[in-house]
Chain A
Amino acid sequence: MITKNGKKSEKWIDKFKFFKIIRRSLRFPLFLLGIVVILFYLVIVAFGPSMTPHNPEIPNSKYTLGAPTNENLFGTDKFGRDILTRVIYASRLDMLIALTVATISFILGSLIGGIVGYYGGWLDKVVMRVVDVMFAFPSFILAMAITSALGDTVQNVVIAIATAYTPYFVRLTRGEMLTIRKLQYADAAISVGNPGWRVALVHLLPNALAPSLVQMTLVSGWAILDAAGLAFLGLGITPPTAEWGVMVSEGAARIITGEWWVWLYPGLAIVLAAFAFNLVGDGLRDIMAREEQ
Chain B
Amino acid sequence: MRTEPILQIKDLSVSLTSGGNERTILDQLSLKIFPNEVMGIVGESGSGKTMTALATMGLLPKTIKVTGGHIWYEGRDLLQLSGKDMRSVRGSKIAMIFQNPRMALNPLMRVGDQIARAVRLHQDLPKAEYYPMAVSLMKQVGIADAEGRAKAYPHQLSGGMAQRVLVAIMLACQPKVLIADEPTTGLDVTIQAQIFELIKEIQVQTGVAVLLITHDLGVVSEVCDRVGVMYAGQVMEIARVAEIFNDPGHPYTKRLLKSILRVDQISDLDTSQALSPISAAFDVLGCRFASQCLDACPECLLQRPQIPDDDCEHMVFCYKYYPKK
Q: A residues near B, CB below 8 A?
A: 7, 10, 120, 182-185, 187-196, 203, 206-207
Known A190-B57, A193-B90, A207-B107; 18 more pairs at CB < 8 Å: A10-B148, A120-B62, A182-B61, A184-B99, A184-B104, A185-B104, A185-B105, A187-B57, A187-B98, A188-B98, A188-B104, A188-B105, A190-B90, A192-B169, A193-B122, A194-B117, A194-B121, A196-B83
Contact A207–B108 (Cβ < 8 Å): yes
B interface, size bucket: 20 to 34
CB-CB contacts of B48-73 with A at 8 A, as 1s and 0s?
00000010010101100000000000
Give the distance in Å from the alpha carbon of A206 to the alpha carbon of B173 in the complex.
24
The total of interchain contacts (Cβ-Cβ below 8 angstroms) comes to 64
Give the distance in Å from the alpha carbon of A120 to the alpha carbon of B63 in the complex.
13
Contact B91–A185 (Cβ < 8 Å): no
Contact B121–A192 (Cβ < 8 Å): yes
Residues of A within 8 A of B59 (CB): 187, 190-191
Contact A193–B98 (Cβ < 8 Å): no
19 cross-chain CB contacts under 8 A: A183-B103, A184-B99, A184-B103, A185-B106, A187-B59, A187-B104, A188-B96, A190-B90, A191-B59, A191-B96, A192-B117, A192-B122, A193-B87, A193-B88, A193-B92, A193-B121, A203-B109, A207-B106, A207-B108
Q: Considering the complex, give the chain B residue whose CB is closest to the CB of A10.
A: B148
Contact B92–A206 (Cβ < 8 Å): no
Residues of A within 8 A of B88 (CB): 193
Instruction: Answer yes or no: B203 CB below 8 A from chain A CBs.
Output: no
Contact B95–A191 (Cβ < 8 Å): yes
Give the distance in Å from the alpha carbon of A189 to the alpha carbon of B95 in the complex.
11
Give the distance in Å from the alpha carbon of A219 to the alpha carbon of B61 in the complex.
36
CB-CB contacts of B154-177 with A at 8 A, as 1s and 0s?
000000000000100100010000
Residues of A within 8 A of B90 (CB): 190-193
Q: How far is the CB of A186 from chain B (nearest CB, A)?
A: 9
- Contact A184 B98, CB 8 Å, known A193-B88, A193-B91, A203-B106: yes
Tell me the residues in window 31-62 of chain B with beta carbons closer than 8 Å to chain A beta carbons: 54, 57, 59, 61-62
Contact B173–A192 (Cβ < 8 Å): yes
Q: B residues near A, CB below 8 A?
A: 54, 57, 59, 61-62, 83, 87-92, 95-96, 98-100, 103-109, 117-118, 121-122, 148, 166, 169, 173
Main secondary structure of the interface of A (DSSP, over half): helix
Neighbour of A193 across the interface among B62, B108, B166, B173, CB < 8 A:
B173
Q: How far is the CB of B39 from chain A (nearest CB, A)?
A: 18
Give the distance in Å from the alpha carbon of A190 to the alpha carbon of B106 in the complex.
12
Residues of B within 8 A of A203 (CB): 106, 109
Contact B91–A192 (Cβ < 8 Å): yes
Residues of B within 8 A of A120 (CB): 62
Residues of B within 8 A of A196 (CB): 83
Residues of B within 8 A of A192 (CB): 90-91, 95, 117-118, 121-122, 169, 173
Q: How far is the CB of A119 from chain B (nearest CB, A)?
A: 11
Q: How far is the CB of B159 from chain A (nearest CB, A)?
A: 13
Contact B108–A206 (Cβ < 8 Å): yes
Give the distance in Å from the alpha carbon of A127 to the alpha carbon of B92 in the complex.
35
Residues of B within 8 A of A182 (CB): 61
Residues of A within 8 A of B117 (CB): 192, 194
Q: How far is the CB of A40 from chain B (nearest CB, A)?
A: 32
Residues of B within 8 A of A195 (CB): 87
Give the distance in Å from the alpha carbon of A270 to the alpha carbon of B59 in the complex.
52
Give the distance in Å from the alpha carbon of A185 to the alpha carbon of B153 in the complex.
14
The 6 closest A-B pairs by CB, nearest first: A193-B91, A188-B104, A184-B103, A193-B90, A192-B91, A191-B96
Q: How far is the CB of A76 from chain B (nearest CB, A)?
A: 53
Q: How far is the CB of B56 from chain A (nearest CB, A)?
A: 10
Q: How far is the CB of B40 from chain A (nearest CB, A)?
A: 20
Q: Considering the complex, give the chain B residue whose CB is closest to the CB of A183.
A: B103
Q: Considering the complex, give the chain B residue whose CB is closest to the CB of A209.
A: B108
Q: How far is the CB of A200 from chain B (nearest CB, A)?
A: 13
Q: How far is the CB of B151 from chain A (nearest CB, A)?
A: 10
Residues of B within 8 A of A7 (CB): 148
Greatest chain A CB density within 10 A among B61, B62, B87, B169 is at: B87
Q: How far is the CB of B105 from chain A (nearest CB, A)?
A: 6
Q: Considering the complex, give the chain A residue whose CB is closest to the CB of B91.
A: A193
Give the distance in Å from the alpha carbon of A187 to the alpha carbon of B90 in the complex.
11
Q: Considering the complex, give the chain A residue whose CB is closest to the CB of B170.
A: A192
Q: How far is the CB of B273 from chain A (nearest CB, A)?
A: 36
Q: How far is the CB of B111 from chain A (nearest CB, A)?
A: 12
Residues of B within 8 A of A185 (CB): 103-107
Residues of A within 8 A of B121 (CB): 192-194
Residues of B within 8 A of A193 (CB): 87-92, 121-122, 173
Contact A191–B106 (Cβ < 8 Å): no
Q: How far is the CB of A212 from chain B (nearest CB, A)?
A: 14
Q: Considering the complex, give the chain B residue whose CB is closest to the CB of A204.
A: B106
Residues of A within 8 A of B173 (CB): 192-193
